[in-house]
Every structure is written in C-alpha cells, then in structure tokens.
Structure 1
Amino acid sequence: MSVKQVLIWATVATSTAKGVMFSVSALFFTTAVGISPATVGTGLTVAGAWGVVTAFAAGRLCDRFGPRRVLLVAATAQGGALAAYCLTRGAGMFVLVACVAVGAENVQRTARVALLARTFTGPDRIGVRARLRVVDNVSIAAGTGFAAVALAVGSRSAYVTAVLAAAVLTLVALVPLRALPALLEGGGDRPARGVRSPLKDRRYLTATALHAVVSMQFLLLTVGMPLWVTGHTAAPDVTVALLLLLNTGLVSVLQVWSTRLVGDVPSAGRAVLHGTVLLLAACLCYAAAGYPSGAGFAVALLVAAVVAHSLGEIVSETGGWELAFEWAHPADSGAYQGVSQAGVAIGRAVAPVVVTSTAIGLGLPGWLLLGGVFLAAGAGTRALSARRQVSQPTLSARQAPRTTPSARTMVGPRRR
C-alpha cells in the first residue's frame, strides 16, 4: 500500500466522522448533554482559538518527533475526546473536551501536510493533496448522510450513538496510519535540525496572512450563504442544501484537474489571483440575488454565485498549496506547514464575524467590500509571487526526505 493510499483511507475514516459531527453536534450538545446554545458557542470559540495554537505547535512537533508519531497520538486523542463528549457534564468539562477534540483535529491537519511535504516533491505534492481534498469532501457528505438517521430518530440515544460512531471512525484511522514506516520521515523519527524559523521569514508570513484572508471564503459558503438565502432572497430554504451539494460536486470533480494550472511559484500566484476574481464575481451574484426578482431568478443567480464561488475556491486553494510547499524551508517543513495551517485556522476563526458584519449586515455594499477584500488578497499574492525568486538552500543527504520505493510505493517490508 502506497503512502497516498494510507492517507486516503485515513482521510475516509476521519472525514466521515467529521461529517457525522457536523450534522449532530449542535443538537447533541444542547439536547443530549444539556448545555445551553450560548455555552456551546462560547466553548467552541475557545476551542477554535486553542486550535490555532495547536496547528502551529504541531509543525514543531513534526520536526522533532516525525509526522507519523504526531498523527498517531493526535488521532488517538481526538477519538478519545469525541467519546468523552458522551460523559460530559457541565460547561467547564465541555470546554476542556472541546479543546482536546478541536486541537487534536488541527494537529492532524498540520501533520498530514508536513508528511506530504517530506514524502513527495514537485507536482506530486499538490496532486496528492488535491485527491485527499476530494476524498475529504465526499467522506464528509457520506458522514452527513449517516447522521441523517440519528436526526430522523431524534432521541438522546440516537445522538449518543452517532457521536460514539464518530469516535470509533476516528480511531479506525489509526489502522492505516500505523502502516506508515518511520523511514518516511526524513531520517526517521529523530529530531530534525532546524535551519530557519518561519516566524522570521517575512515572505512566508505575508503569503500566510494573504491566504488566511482568502480562506475566509469557506465560511462565506457555510455561514454567509445560508443566512443570505433564507433571510434576504426569494429562493426557498431548501435551496441552501442544493447549493451545498453543488459545491461538493464541483470540488470533487475539478479539484484534481486544477493542479494542471499550477507548476511553479508564478503560476501559483496567478491561480490565486484568478480564484479571487471568481470570488468577487460570486459576491456580486449573491448580492444580485437579494433584489426582488422572483424565486426562479433568485435561484438562477444563486446557482451562478456558487459555481463561481466553487471555481474560485478550487483554483485559489491549489495556488495556495503550491506556495505553502515551495516557499517552506525543506529542513523545517513541519514548522513552516504549522505556520501555514495556523493562518488558515485564524482566517476561519474570524470569518463568521467578518462575513456577517459585511455581506449579511450591509447588503450590497458589504458584498462589494468582501469581494474587494478577496481580490486585494489575490492581487497581493500575485505580486509577491512575481518577485525575483531566491532559491532555497539545498538539503544535505542526511536531511533530505527519502523518496525511495519504500517511501513512494511501499509501506512496510518489501516482498522477497
């Protein structure tokens, strides 16, 4: 089994669990556990802030202990935390468990990217990451479908069963992950000798900040779009579910194809810019759908908005991945990917406030402002990528990631 296959099967398990939790967590916390919605919101906000810290710290842990060990520990911790939700009593315990669950999930996200950075090179890195994103989307959709059974039953025992199933699925991911040999990790699990801190790399920090701005588009789709459709357009409420399915389908079909658009740093910068132009177009279509025009015309505009939004998401993500990999110092790949993932976490954390206070709160001016922010971030990324490139230091033989057949095609001992 190849490294790519190991990561795909692990992603199937963890993302299916994620889909289950997306669907049932709010009702589980408020009805089965008995926590108020305000406490749930506060607790998840605190956990999200902690997730930013763990995403950053995970990079250093990957350089120190190796991505494989970090993945195994984090998956175990997240599975245990999901199961512990069923035993939660009181706000304090809920916040503690939520911090462990969200923090462990962010650690895994950083460790997977660090593993890709160490194992693959060139186009293979974003190609594999694109395939993993497709698997992630499809598996989340499958988990959402499984959770529909619990939602249909609507009892406490059904919600508890769904959460325990998510915990088991997360732990199942340990099975393929344990097959990853330590030899994949750039000299095994020995400590990596750091060369340069990403916190002193102004170019990387600038790119991370710009990508954090662009990454707010994820919450525009999952938070802003539903609020806008149900509260400001003539489209029926069921349109929200159909638009989300449209986004999932487009990402699943086109994400891998989009990697053909990116082959180096300049093309990655162009991809991000083009993606943000599409996001601006999506914002304009969302805004137009809010004007009185009848349900049919509103739905047509919303479909156009989500198509543009999905294409912008696909292209800008592919460009962002390339820059995050290419501009990372190879001897400190974990630390650099930790900074990158922390930036994404920050963007997603502030996105609900930004989206609701601009697009939802101000209407057309807010949509224009939000689209302009996306475009400015894309233009900044393009300008940064167009500068004369300074080549990264070459790794020594001891530091270089191993790309032997065991790293690329075999997991475990070779057959004799």
Structure 2
Amino acid sequence: MANRNLPFFAATSIDALGTGLFTPMSLLYFARVPEIPLATVGVLLSVAAAVTLPLPVLVGQAVDRFGARSVVILAQFAQALGFFCYLAVSGPVSLVLAAMLVSCGQRAFWSAVFTLVADLSERDGTTPDRWFALVGMTQTAGYGVGGLVSGLLLAGATDDLFRLVVLANAVTFVAAGVLLLFVRAGRRQQRAAAERGGYRVLLADRPYQALIATNTVFALCSVFLGIALPVYLVDGVAAPGWLLGPLLVGNTILLAVGQTVAVRLVKPLSRVRALVIAGALWTVWAIASALAVEVPAGVLVPYLAVCMVFYAVAELIHAPVSNALAAAAAPAELRGRYLAIFQYSFTIAMVLAPGLFTVLFTAGRTLPWLALGVLAAVGTIAMSALERRLPAHALRADEEKAATT
C-alpha cells in the first residue's frame, strides 16, 4: 500500500486499540466509579444502543451526499466527545445521554467506513477484497492488543486507572479523526441520480435484499463464538478452565495475520463461491461443537482446537469477501445507502445471538450449536443461489475492476 494510505490504516489501528482497551472494563467502570448498579448499567447501555438503530438510514444518505470520509471523521469526534462525557457521568440520566452519543458515533462509523474503504480501493485501482482484508487485520490486531492490555490492567484497577482508560479511549478517537483529515478518497457519487433513486432503488433490489438476509445468518455465526463459547466450555463440556484464553487468542492472531492470505487463496473463485465455502466451514464448526459433548476428556482439548480452526478459516474468508461483494453489488451512486443497510445484517446478528443462545442452551446444551448448524447450512444454500442473481461484475474482483475502468 502507498504511503498516502498510512494515515487511514493508522487511524483504524488506533481506533481499535482504544476500543479494545475500554470494552472489557466498560461495565465495571460505571459500576465502580459513578457507582451505578450493574444491572442498571446493562439496561441503560442497551437502551442507548437501541435508540440509534434507525441511524444508518440517515447515515447512508449523508455518505452519498457528502462523502464517506466526512461522515467517518464526524463519527470519530462524536465518539471522542461521548467518552469525555463518560468521565462526568454521575448517575443513570447522564450515563444514558453519554452512551447515546457514543452509540451514535459507533453506528455512524460502521455505517460509513466500509464505503470509505471501497472508495479508497477504487481510487487506487485495486480490488476491494484486499483492502477489506487489510482493514480487518489492522482492526483485529489493534483490538487484540487493547484487550490484552486491558486484561492486565484489570488485575489491579483503581478508580483513577479506570478514568485514565476512558480518557485514553477518548484521545484515540480524536487522534483517529485527525489522521483521517489527511486521507484523500476519490468520490464517484452521482448526486442527482442518488437523489432521484434513494432507498426506493434498494427496496426494489431483491437480489441485494437476499444478500443482506443471507449475510445475517453468516454474521450470526461470526458473533456466536464470543457469546457462546465461554459458557459452553464451562457448563457444556466441562473443559479445562485455562482453555478459553488460548482458543480466543489463537483465533485473534489468525484473524490479525491471515485475511490477505485467505483473499489470495480464494481469488480464483467467485466471491459467492468463496462465501459458500465459509458457510460450509461454519456448518461443520457448529455441528462439531455440538458433538463435543461426546468427546472423551483426554482428546477434548485438541478436538476443540481443531473446531476453532474451522471457525477461523470461515471468518478469514467471510470478513473481507462479504464486504467486497456488498460494495461491488451496490450501484456506485448509492453505495453509501446500500452499505449502511448491509451493516444491519451484523447489527441484527448481535441482537439475536445472546437470546438465541441462552434460550436454547437452557433447553439443552447442544441445541444452540445444532440450530446454528442448520441455519448455516440454509445460509450456504441460499448464498449459492445468489450467484445467478447478483450483478456479474460483482462476482469477481477482476471483472469488477474491468467494469469500472
């Protein structure tokens, strides 16, 4: 990547580092520093996040009109302001107001950043698959390092240390926003066409709607790991207590270093067929995880490690390729709207995963994994059917590049 892209990747790394640093401490900070009951904190943070759910619709319009870069910069500064406000939280009302500001910034960022990535790859004349892979790797690495430091700090955390972490996260968002001011992204928006079409074009685009629905299933597989695995290892298969850390760390390392390799390996395939492989791997992972209850204790650890490899490879393929396909299948003049709505697949998955797992796990320890395996298999079949319905130029990076030159 050219030197002119260094500010962008530095910004994404710093953003992820601060987020990874604060996230493990988030509930504890509000419970210990302003001394808000933990149950109240959880409810208020959920309410603040739910209030911002309609925001991507507006963000998509703003991206198509003003450009993704401007929206992403504003989102970074909004998150910074929200974290500065966290330092002044003294009760439930101030907490929910500050959390709404942070949540608005987060929602705007994730609704706009992938359009910015697509614009940057287009400006450089490169395929978006590699760009999305590089962004995913830098974010995963930053988040992983931040989480590791946070875990070390939690051992002796004081109120002052909690406040310092919140302040550090606010500063990382300011730094990321400033770095993005030095990024120059080409814009291919055709404003008049965008204003005439708007979301009506997307509502009439059945193949793209099917892509969003199918990706919701895949996104559910992606987020299921962090929610389900800790409980399953302890209460489902009675795995050793030390196992969770190495499994999650190993997965993080693979995601931080392997996405460009995965993109290169699946490049001969169409993007849809690459995602079919990811779906098949997730299906195997889910079913194999359900079968772990029958595995003898002596081989349980290597068995679960192999299961994790299936998950990691699926994620390595899905993360960059799904976003590249979504960007390529969107009309250039409406890319902001299309990708903002595409991100709802991940939002819906994060909303559904906790309830789906807890309800099914209560009924039977293997039921969540079996249900996920069935959903992944259905999603894989549905994805395969989309190859005949999505635009031909969106299926392969080489064809997309030829169509835009």
TM-score over 0.5 for the pair: yes
Amino acid at match of 1:29: F
Gaps of 5+ in 1: 393-401, 404-416
Q: Deviations over 1:195-224 (max 9, x none)?
A: 453233221111111101210123211110
Answer yes or no: is the 8 Å Cα contact 2:85–2:98 preserved in 1: yes
User: Are the aligned partners of 2:216 and 2:349 in contact in 1 as well (CA < 8 Å)?
Assistant: yes
Q: Is the 2:221–2:372 contact (alpha carbons within 8 Å) kept by the matching residues of 1?
A: no
RMSD, matched Cα: 2.6
2:232·2:365 contact (CA, 8 Å) conserved in 1? no
Measure, in 2, the Cα distance between the counterparts of 1:206 and 1:48: 26
Aligned residues: 391
Q: What are the residue-to-residue correspondences of 1:134-153 with 2, within 5 Å?
A: 134-153=137-156
* 1:349 aligned partner: 351
Q: Report the counterpart of residue 308 of structure 1 in structure 2.
A: 310
Which residue pairs with 1:376 in the alignment? 378
1:142-181 counterparts in 2 under 5 A?
A: 142-181=145-184
State the Cα distance separating 1:132 from its structure 2 match: 0.8
- Is this contact kept in 2: 1:272–1:317, CA < 8 A? no
Q: Distance in 1 between matches of 2:390 and 2:143?
A: 40
The one of 276, 282, 293 equivalent to 1:279 is 282
Distance 1:109 1:71 in 2: 8
Give CA deviations for 1:256-290 in whole Å, capped at 9, x if unaligned.
Answer: 112125559x7221122211111121112322323
Distance 1:179 1:48, change over 3 A: same
Q: Distance in 2 between matches of 1:212 and 1:356?
A: 19
Residue 194 of structure 1 contacts residue 332 of structure 1 at CA under 8 Å; is this kept in 2? no
Listed as ranges, the matches of 1:96-245 within 5 Å are 96-121=97-122, 124-181=127-184, 184-186=186-188, 193=195, 195-197=197-199, 198-245=202-249
Q: Which amino acid aligns with 1:364?
A: T
Measure, in 2, the Cα distance between the counterparts of 1:49 and 1:388. Answer: 32
- After superposition, the Cα gap between the structure-2 partners of 1:246 and 1:388, relative to the gap in structure 1 and judged at 3 Å, is closer
In structure 2, distance between residues paired with 1:107 and 1:98: 14
Which of the two has greater helix per residue? 2
Superposed CA deviations along residues 73-107 of structure 1, whole A, max 9, x for unmatched, are 11111011012112112222212221221221121
Residue in 1 that maps onto 2:301 = 299
Question: What SS class does the counterpart of residue 241 from structure 2 fall into?
Answer: coil
CA contact (8 A) 1:195 1:331 kept: no
- Give the structure-2-normalised TM-score: 0.89
Give the alignment partner of residue 246 of structure 1, picking from 244, 250, 264.
Answer: 250
* Aligned position for 2:58: 57
Contact 1:11 1:136 in 2 (8 A): yes
Residue type of the alignment partner of 1:229: L
Partner of 2:28: 27
Indicate conservation of the 8 Å contact 2:282/2:373, yes or no.
yes
1 CA distance for matches of 2:26 and 2:191? 36
| Cα separation, 2, equivalents of 1:20 and 1:157 | 15
Residue 87 (structure 2) aligns with = 86
* Counterpart residue number, 2:333: 331
The whole-number CA distance in structure 2 between the counterparts of 1:386 and 1:317 is: 22
Contact 1:262/1:318 (8 A) holds in 2: no
- 2:183 aligned counterpart, secondary structure: coil
Quote the Cα distance in structure 2 between the aligned partners of 1:129 and 1:20.
23
The alignment's TM-score, normalised by the length of structure 1, stands at 0.86
8 Å CA contact retained: 2:236, 2:293: yes
Hey, what's the Cα distance between the residues in 1 that align with 2:331 and 2:117? 14
Task: State whether residues 69 and 180 of structure 2, in contact with CA within 8 Å, keep that contact through their aligned partners in structure 1.
Answer: yes
Which residue identity does 2:288 align to in structure 1?
A: C
Structure 2 CA distance for aligned equivalents of residues 195 and 3 of structure 1: 34
Letter in 1 for 2:331: H
Q: Which moved more, 1:343-352 or 1:124-133?
A: 343-352
Instruction: Indicate the percent of aligned positions where both proteins have the same amino acid.
Output: 25
In the alignment, the residues of structure 1 paired with residue 241 and residue 308 of structure 2 have an alpha-carbon distance, to the nearest angstrom, of 15
Shift of 1:51: 4.2
Q: Structure 2: which 5+ runs fail to align?
A: 395-403
Please identify, of 192-201 and 159-168, the stretch whose mean Cα deviation from structure 2 is larger: 192-201
